[in-house]
């Protein structure tokens, strides 16, 4: 691997300078964190699987006209993406009560919500990513009203599409989180595009029949079978790497 400048290292990914201006390489690690870094660990093969799963979902979303930062997968752990200015808001879309929503309103986990609920969280580790309203977002200038309109419309389209896609492989899309970025075209135009990743790290996915959790909640709550859950999602989507589970370690060393 060539020596590349490291632009940013996050919890589960590293961003390197890309081969051309305006591109980045997104490297997927096996590291996992939960509860704002209070719990850390590794999930063997997660990076390889999330690279594949996110590629698959971003390509499918691109095919229905959702603009994304994804360009192409480069190898087992890396993908080429367009460089964007990340909007510091996590957009969560929920279909079924779980996680922090169930806790906040004392809802039974698994309750179907009367309609999809969209929430915004301000990305700030030191504040534990607080829940914020559109008022906070526009008043503090994290996003403009136009950005927000675009983010909301895209998040709802992504939810509708992914709900159907996962249902097709007997998975219930309980909730998920997405991030958006501003992509500046050479002519100066700006578009809001889907960025970051979509994977079992950022979605809650339950088996449609048994409600078995097949996502990061297995790691968060020490449910066991974490690696197997990520593999199962990839398997159902028909995208397990060629060598199957034995081929999941992939290159570990970077730089």
Question: What string of DSSP letters covers 136-193?
Answer: HHHHTTSS-HHHHHHHHHHHHHHHHHHHHHHHTTTEEEEEEEEEEEEEE-TTS-EEEE
176 in contact with ligand UDP (CB under 6 A): yes
Closer CB to ligand UDP, residue 25 or residue 155?
155
Q: Is 203 near ligand UDP (CB under 6 A)?
A: yes
Shortest Å distance, C-beta 52 to ligand UDP: 18
- In the list 101, 137, 171, 237, the residue contacting ligand UDP (rule: CB under 6 A) is 101
Please say which residue, 95 or 241, places its beta carbon nearer to ligand UDP: 95
Q: Is 249 within 8 Å of 46 (Cβ atoms)?
A: no
Binding of ligand UDP at residue 82 (CB under 6 A)? no
Nearer to ligand UDP, 99 or 250 (CB): 99
Q: Binding of ligand UDP at residue 233 (CB under 6 A)?
A: no
Per rule CB under 6 A, is residue 43 in the interface with ligand UDP? no
Cβ-contact 93, 159 below 8 angstroms: yes
| Residue 198 C-alpha from the chain's centroid | 3
Given the complex with ligand UDP, which of 87 and 92 has the nearer CB atom?
A: 92
Q: What is the CA radius of gyration of the chain?
A: 18
Cβ contact 27:77 at 8 Å: yes
């Amino acid at each position: 691997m060539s020596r590349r400048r490291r632009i940013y290292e996050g919890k589960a990914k590293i961003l390197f300078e890309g081969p051309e201006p305006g591109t980045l390489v997104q490297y997927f690690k096996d590291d996992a964190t939960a509860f704002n870094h209070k719990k850390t660990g590794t999930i063997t093969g997660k990076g390889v699987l999330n690279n594949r799963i996110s590629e698959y979902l971003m390509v499918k979303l691109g095919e229905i006209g959702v603009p994304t930062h994804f360009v192409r997968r480069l190898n087992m752990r890396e993908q080429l993406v367009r460089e964007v200015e990340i909007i510091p808001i996590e957009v969560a879309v929920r279909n079924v009560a779980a996680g922090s929503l169930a806790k906040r309103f004392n809802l039974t986990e698994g309750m179907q919500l009367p309609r999809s609920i969209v929430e915004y969280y301000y990305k700030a580790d030191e504040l534990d990513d607080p829940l914020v309203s559109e008022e906070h977002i526009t008043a503090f200038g994290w996003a403009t009203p136009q950005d927000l309109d675009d983010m909301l419309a895209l998040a709802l389209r992504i939810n509708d599409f992914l709900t159907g896609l996962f249902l097709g492989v007997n998975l219930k899309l309980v909730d998920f989180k997405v991030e958006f970025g501003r992509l500046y075209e050479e002519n100066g135009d700006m578009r809001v595009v889907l960025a970051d990743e979509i994977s079992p790290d950022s979605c809650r996915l339950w088996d449609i029949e048994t409600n078995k959790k097949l996502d990061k909640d297995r790691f968060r709550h020490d449910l066991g079978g974490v690696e197997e859950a990520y593999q199962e999602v990839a398997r159902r989507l028909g995208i397990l790497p060629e060598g199957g589970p034995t081929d999941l370690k992939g290159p570990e060393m970077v730089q």
